[in-house]
Amino acid sequence: MNNLLKDNAALVEKFRSIRTPFYYYDTELLDKTLQAIKKETDQHEGYHLHYAVKACTNSKVLSHIMKAGFGADCVSGGEIQACLNAGFPASEIVFAGVGKSDWEIVLGLKVGIQYFNVESIPELEVINEIAAGMQKVARVSFRINPNVGADTHANITTGLAENKFGIAMEDMEKVITLANEMKNVEFVGLHFHIGSQILEMDNFIALSNRINELQDQLEQNGIRNVKNINVGGGLGISYQDPDGQPIPDFKAYFDTYAKYLKLRPGQHLHFELGRAVVAQCGSLITKCLYVKKAATKQFAIVDAGMTDLIRPALYDAFHKIDNLTSNAAEETYDVVGPICESSDVFVKDYSMNATKRGDLLALRSAGAYGEIMASQYNCRSLPIGYTTEDI
């Protein structure tokens, strides 16, 4: 099987002259991924993708996604600004989050975003009040907590009653009625999101079934003005096999909703995929500083750390590591970073080509929740992100 990075000798040669660690985004793969999504959404009437910007806000990556014609799902004023800078029309931006600050609501109203995904009654009241002060009408969609689990890491499930997200199902009619009575908000839809890195379609079937029940219930109570259903994101990727599965199975994902979710006539279905769009196109490129042999282990100490890619430390996440500059017989390593924390470990007991000082390593599938979650702990510089066009 071809290794998308390692087999590209010319690219690896170029990497040698760039200061490590850095992120590399393969924009050819990104474009192919975007086309694969488009091919599927175009087949279904009323399907729209708002890219979940939180996964990666690198401006060049955003620009590719904007040019492919997708909208954006933002969770902060900063993300809204990043999207506007990248050229996304405000009318294609939706804005979620449990704790929107007043200035973020003002920004959303000022630029005219498509709608707010509202997560509580107090938030609805504040949006109505701010919109009244600005003589505007805010379009609002309610994030309902569907109490549907997801087969994923506990830290990234969001749709259970115990999670902080969304409005309880029991309160759904109450908030819609309330919004319909308010002068400065317009109710435009329902929003859901059950979690992230989900590979079992059963989870999306369970969400579809729950939405069907809720829609029936609303209709029985005479509420028929639900223009949009937004099912959030969550489709996972193969961290084990980025070369074998560089593009996620979008067909299975969209077909699942087409089969199980009963949209009402004229209703639009919105998706907020993040990881599945950008994860596989990004790699964190790092240099081996030292190989340290201890009694029972050998450590490959690299110049990237948990400050550059926190997912292994935070979620026990696995990222495949390729030594881009060695084909020597494999040996076993703990690959660790330079940060003064025991959790600064990328992987333990990992087989890879024999590694020496100066070798370039790629931590794969790092395009989502990689660069954007970087920190400056230990007074480190933030990693720079380069795309195929830059190199």
**Residues 289 to 308 in contact with ligand LLP, rule: CB under 6 A:** none
Q: Which of 48, 210, 275, 320 binds ligand LLP (CB under 6 A)?
A: 275
Q: Which of 67, 71, 72, 64 is nearest to 26 (CA)?
A: 64
Beta bridge mates, 351: 332
Burial 254-285 (b: 16+ CB within 10 A, else e): bebbbebbebeeebebbbbbbbbbbbbbbbbb
Structure tokens that stand for 185 in this block: 């908000």
Instruction: Note the helical H segments in 182-224.
Output: 201-220
| Relative orientation angle of helices 77-86 and 59-67, to the nearest 10 degrees | 60
| Number of amino acids touching ligand LLP (CB under 6 A) | 21
**Residues 308 to 327 in contact with ligand LLP, rule: CB under 6 A:** 311, 315
Which of the stretches 59-67, 233-241, 291-299, 342-350 binds ligand LLP when contact is defined by CB under 6 A?
Answer: 233-241
The residue among 50 and 287 lying less far from ligand LLP, judged by its C-beta, is 50
Q: Which of 67, 60, 3 is nearest to 389 (CA)?
A: 60
The residue among 49 and 300 lying less far from ligand LLP, judged by its C-beta, is 49
Task: Please tell me whether residue 273 binds ligand LLP under the rule CB under 6 A.
Answer: yes
Q: CB 331 → ligand LLP: shortest distance, Å? A: 29
Q: CB 221 → ligand LLP: shortest distance, Å? A: 26
**Residues 50 to 79 in contact with ligand LLP, rule: CB under 6 A:** 52, 55, 73
Q: CB 196 → ligand LLP: shortest distance, Å? A: 3
Beta bridge mates, 288: 302
- Is residue 293 helix, strand or coil? strand
Structure tokens that stand for 187 in this block: 């109710």
The residue among 93 and 360 lying less far from ligand LLP, judged by its C-beta, is 93
**Residues 162 to 221 in contact with ligand LLP, rule: CB under 6 A:** 193, 196-197
**Site of interaction with ligand LLP (CB under 6 A):** 52, 55, 73, 96, 156, 158, 193, 196-197, 232-235, 272-276, 311, 315, 369
